[in-house]
């Protein structure tokens, strides 16, 4: 057995290249290799620490004899304790929405993410969904779009909206960001949003369709719970913050106990109105965010976003959803190039959690 730590302390990850390590893990999972993930901190004896060492939740254990040279691993011989470990799984078939009004600048980073992390997927259009295609898939990803989720209604129509709700009711898994996070929300009866949103989760947006009230920029979020499966490898400690790219996404308001808050908005950093002084490290998504004509300001952040949920988990029927108001697919707004962005873990962890 090989123990593979993905812990992150400060800005340094134990793996020299997290994308290469996790893409190797993903290939192994698809080929049937038993890969386990710790669900709590575990103390283990390994070749590196024969006297015993504590590893954080999210540590991986692979039933292999050898690992590639780019993967840092420690050998160990120990049975897997079912109370501390779970078998990792991936969707057998994964769909990414690319129908009418899907924005290329949001879809393309998800496509690049899947290629980087070796995740096969299929694009589905609004017509595919209306024709019942979602029943073929274990996981449905809905990226951002040009509006607050209502733009997808134009292509999906009533039939498409009913198809997505039926998919969730029967146990489908859904990951959405920005407009994709707006779409499942619940609206006040009789409002335009009531027909344009799925009304599938016990959460809404604090200002309905008025996404223009915020803007786009770089913000800091605070992770709500230490040891959450959605934040494995992102932080370690009882409270931790993380910098992300925000682009007019929903500011969630929870409406019931069925919604779990994963992260909240903590601090305004920079925007086109107040540019940063650091380099963008070849992250075109971050550069585009600064050039947007509706920049976020510190005043808007304080009025509309501060301490409000930025990421939530919810259930609908037998289905499960994770919704990110910000754009994890856009990468980190500082410190690293897009391909090395630790924010991608919000997506990868979301896929692992939804499917495992």
Share of the chain above pLDDT 90, in %: 72
Q: What is the pTM (predicted TM-score) of this model?
A: 0.95
Averaged pLDDT, 249-269: 94
pLDDT value at position 79?
Answer: 67
- CA 210 to mean position of chain CA atoms: 23
* DSSP string for 60-112: EEE--S---TTS--EE------TTTEEE----SSEEEE--TT--HHHHHHHHH
Contacts of 303 (CB under 8 A, 6+ apart): none
Contacts of 169 (CB under 8 A, 6+ apart): 316, 317, 318, 319
pLDDT value at position 188?
Answer: 85
Averaged pLDDT, 162-171: 97
Please state, in angstroms and rounded to a whole number, the distance separating the CA atoms of residues 14 and 7. Answer: 6
How long a stretch of residues is the chain? Answer: 356
- Give the position of tokens 């898994």: 173
Rg (CA), the chain: 20
In angstroms, the Cα distances linking 248 to 195, 204, 259 are: 21, 15, 21
221, 264 contact by CB (below 8 A): yes
Instruction: Give 70-128 pLDDT, tens digit per residue.
Output: 999 999 986 677 789 999 999 999 999 998 888 899 999 999 999 999 999 999 999 99
- 152-190 per-residue burial string, b: 16 or more CB within 10 A, e: under 16: bbebbeeebbebbbebbeeebbbbbbbbbbbbbbbbeee
Which domains can be identified in the chain, with CATH numbers? 2-87 (no CATH), 94-355 (3.40.50.880)
Please state, in angstroms and rounded to a whole number, the distance separating the CA atoms of residues 96 and 98. Answer: 6
Phi, psi of 65 (to 5 degrees): -95, -30
Band of residue 7 on the pLDDT scale cut at 50, 70, 90 = confident
């Amino acid at each position: 057995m090989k123990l593979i730590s993905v812990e992150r302390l400060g800005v340094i990850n134990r793996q020299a290249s997290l994308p290469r390590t996790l893409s190797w893990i993903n290939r192994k999972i698809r080929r049937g290799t038993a890969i386990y993930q710790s669900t709590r901190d575990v103390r283990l004896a390994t070749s590196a620490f024969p006297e015993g060492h504590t590893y954080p939740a999210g540590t991986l254990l692979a039933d292999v004899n050898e690992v590639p040279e780019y993967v840092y691993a420690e050998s160990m011989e120990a049975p897997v304790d079912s109370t501390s470990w779970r078998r990792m799984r991936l969707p057998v078939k994964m769909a990414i929405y690319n129908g009418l009004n899907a924005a290329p600048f949001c879809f393309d980073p998800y496509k690049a993410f899947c290629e980087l992390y070796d995740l096969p997927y299929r694009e589905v259009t609004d017509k595919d969904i209306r024709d019942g295609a979602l029943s073929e898939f274990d996981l449905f990803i809905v990226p951002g779009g040009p509006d607050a989720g209502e733009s997808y209604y134009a292509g999906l129509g009533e039939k498409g909206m009913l198809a997505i709700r039926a998919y969730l009711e029967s146990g489908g898994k859904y990951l959405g960001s920005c407009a994709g996070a707006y779409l499942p929300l619940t609206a006040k009866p009789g409002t335009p949003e009531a027909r344009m949103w799925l009304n599938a989760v016990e959460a809404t947006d604090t200002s309905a369709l008025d996404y223009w009230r915020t803007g786009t920029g770089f913000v800091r979020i605070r992770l709500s719970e230490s040891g959450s499966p959605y934040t494995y490898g992102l932080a370690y400690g009882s409270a931790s913050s993380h910098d992300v790219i925000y682009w007019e996404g929903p500011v969630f308001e929870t409406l019931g106990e069925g919604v779990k808050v994963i992260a909240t908005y903590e601090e305004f950093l920079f925007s086109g109105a107040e540019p940063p002084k650091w380099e963008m490290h070849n992250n075109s998504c971050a550069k585009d965010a600064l050039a947007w004509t509706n920049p976020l300001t510190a005043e808007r952040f304080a009025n509309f976003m501060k301490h409000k949920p930025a990421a939530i988990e919810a259930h609908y029927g037998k289905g499960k959803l994770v919704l990110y108001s910000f754009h994890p697919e856009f990468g980190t707004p500082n410190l690293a190039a897009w391909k090395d962005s630790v924010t991608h873990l919000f997506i990868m962890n979301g896929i692992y959690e939804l499917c495992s």
